[in-house]
Structure 1
Amino acid sequence: MVWTVPLKMKAWIYSEYGNPGVLRLADDVAVPEVKEDQVLVKVVAAALNPIDFKRRQGYLRATDSPLPIVPGYDAGGIVVKVGENVKKLKVGDEVYGHICEKPVDSPKQFGSLAEYTAVDEKLLALKPKNLDFTQAASLPLAIETAYEGLQRSGFSAGKSILVLAGAGGVGSLVIQLAKHVFGSSRVAATSSTAKLDLLKSLGADLAIDYTKENFEELPEKFDVVYDAIGQFKKAVKALKEGGILVDINGQVSPPGFSFVVTSDGAVLDKLSPFLETGKVKPLIDPKGPFPFSKVVEAFTCLETGRATGKLVIFPVP
């Protein structure tokens, strides 16, 4: 298969930090060069994550790549070119992945909100056959974050877990992985009233309405609390003696730890059987997918903090 790659492409870019209004759609961005261990992906769908807007607001200024920046960490698409040292992937492969190995320490200048993006082969996996590109693009950063947090906490079969913000992009996948991959004995999760049934459908044994109950005051305590929203002081009160708190929002103290995911295509490969059997399912916000022309609106929606699951951009032209 031969794919004719243009020299220029459409991409969303920003040349200064700020609110979603700094984003603009350009049609003259150079298609990225492919290094020897990279592939060029024709992006079909991309997803937004909170780190995308925090970066755009300037929170990663100290480690960021030079402006202007093409945002976007998640992508699903088709391999159209391969570097000379690429071993597994070939032109025509349908792939997905979180395209930046260290999203905070060394963010890529050219992300996934573009027609093409260059990605290290090791960060990608073949798209599960039962998922479309929208579903696949919604997964990588969130599912890798969910998995790495559970793994780092020493989570294992028979343990109990409380997931804060269970209807969010990461939380919805923590529930499913804890239940169906790690073999949790009991999964509890918090959400607003309207999303309690969703939590149960994902595998939660106990759905807690945070508008009516204070989870930290419940008599039941947990081996692990996975805090996807940033409520350390309350979250530690829900731990059993010797329990561990997982945090993805910033600095915490023992018995908690905080981390930023390291992208790894091998994790996606490992979880692929659970995705292909439907035991673990993507959760996409019903307000989407957003067309490529509506990226500003998608960011604005994400920044309300009210998204259910993931916000996806599809189709990318």
Structure 2
Amino acid sequence: MASSATLPSQMKAWTYAEYGKSSDVLKLGSDVAVPQLNDDQVLVKVVAAGINPVDIKRMHGLIKAADSPLPIVPGYDVAGVVVKVGSQVKKFKEGDEVYGDINEKALDHPKQFGTIAEYTAVEERLLAFKPKNLSFIEAAGLPLAIETANEGLERSQFSAGKSILVLGGAGGVGTMIIQLAKQVYGASKVAATSSTGKLDLLKSLGADLPIDYTKENYEGLPEKFDVVYDTVGECERAVKAVKEGGHVVTIEVTVPVVPPAVLFVLTSNGAVLEKLNPFLESGKVKPMIDPKGVFPFSQTREAFAYLETGRVIGKVVIHL
């Protein structure tokens, strides 16, 4: 492991200098400058990086107006080892194993230099210690998804004894919502939608009522739910499945929001990961990595192509 005295000035990183499809625009560079640290940041030697649908939306230019300047190193999620700390950093030291989502605001000027690189710089407050029982690959698949799941549950005032319907239960965020609703928040009932082949997965995560969206209209069920959490952009249908006075939250920014649904965009926070770490370390909440979703750094283009299929179960992770 390079100590801070011997850190290189350049690194390998995947970048894009124009917006477009990952297969067209992603390039591997070996002479990208290692990010400079601010006083409140640590430099992380990346061991693994999770990729998310937001990376694709960003690469396609959908948040152009609020993006950082090109060229961009993609990637929000990181798991790795601290190799240098800024002068105001109190919690972490060189050698600590950490994980987190490096962009505090997902769609408001995310960092120009993300996590699909040998090194990334990130504010101390956005990181947590990596759960001891998880590999770097498992940890890298968690931050954005588990923090998004948690923030939506908080915003919908979810609490013990309430029921929830999760739209898109087999995705990165959906797999986390089911587990958190059940294991952390004490849901009375968890319903979740997926395609036919993923219903057993939903059950294994704790869903009491797996719904095959290819065969059933969930909004037509006689039963209504205290909370509906839409991860797939079906707001118009979601609001028909909620109880009177219940809450609907959505994370899909590309479709219109229908009242009473509320759209939110994640604010990343390492304290949330610290709060959830005991549930991860006890095995009550488990990372969900797609069986075909682990790719070496050299195959980053293939990793994005797989994510772009829309058929991923849980998360796709790149390891260095």
Q: Does 1:63 pair with 2:89?
A: no
**Residues 171-195 of structure 1 deviation map (CA, whole Å, 9 limit, x = unaligned):** 0000000001000000000011111
Partner of 2:100: 97
Task: Tell me the TM-score normalized by structure 1.
Answer: 0.98
Helix, strand or coil at the partner of 1:178: helix
Q: Does 1:9 pair with 2:14?
A: no
Q: Which amino acid aligns with 1:261?
A: L
* Distance (whole Å) between structure 2 residues aligned to residue 80 and residue 103 of structure 1: 25
Query: Structure 2: where are the runs of 5+ without partners?
Result: none
Q: Does 1:276 pair with 2:281?
A: yes
Question: Shift of the alpha carbon at 1:298?
Answer: 1.0
* Distance (whole Å) between structure 2 residues aligned to residue 27 and residue 13 of structure 1: 10
* Distance (whole Å) between structure 1 residues aligned to residue 153 and residue 257 of structure 2: 17
Question: Shift of the alpha carbon at 1:254?
Answer: 2.1
Partner of 2:299: 294
Across the aligned residues of Structure 1 and Structure 2, the Cα RMSD in angstroms comes to 0.9
Partner of 1:133: 136
Q: Which amino acid aligns with 1:180?
A: Q
Question: Shift of the alpha carbon at 1:304?
Answer: 1.4
**Residues 12-48 of structure 1 deviation map (CA, whole Å, 9 limit, x = unaligned):** 0000000112000000000000110000000000011
Question: Shift of the alpha carbon at 1:219?
Answer: 1.0
* Distance (whole Å) between structure 1 residues aligned to residue 258 and residue 112 of structure 2: 32
Matches within 5 A, 1:1-317: 2-3=3-4, 4-20=6-22, 21-250=24-253, 251-314=256-319, 316=320
Q: Which amino acid aligns with 2:272?
A: V
Identical aligned residues as a percent:
69
* Distance (whole Å) between structure 1 residues aligned to residue 264 and residue 74 of structure 2: 21
* Distance (whole Å) between structure 1 residues aligned to residue 185 and residue 167 of structure 2: 18
Contact 2:158 2:185 in 1 (8 A): yes
* Distance (whole Å) between structure 2 residues aligned to residue 289 and residue 304 of structure 1: 15
Task: Tell me the TM-score normalized by structure 2.
Answer: 0.97
Count residues in correspondence. 315
* Distance (whole Å) between structure 2 residues aligned to residue 134 and residue 120 of structure 1: 21
* Distance (whole Å) between structure 1 residues aligned to residue 272 and residue 300 of structure 2: 28
Helix, strand or coil at the partner of 1:77: strand
Contact 2:236 2:258 in 1 (8 A): no
* Distance (whole Å) between structure 2 residues aligned to residue 245 and residue 301 of structure 1: 30
Question: Shift of the alpha carbon at 1:99?
Answer: 0.4
List 4+ stretches of structure 1 deviating above 4 A: none
Q: Which amino acid aligns with 1:205?
A: D
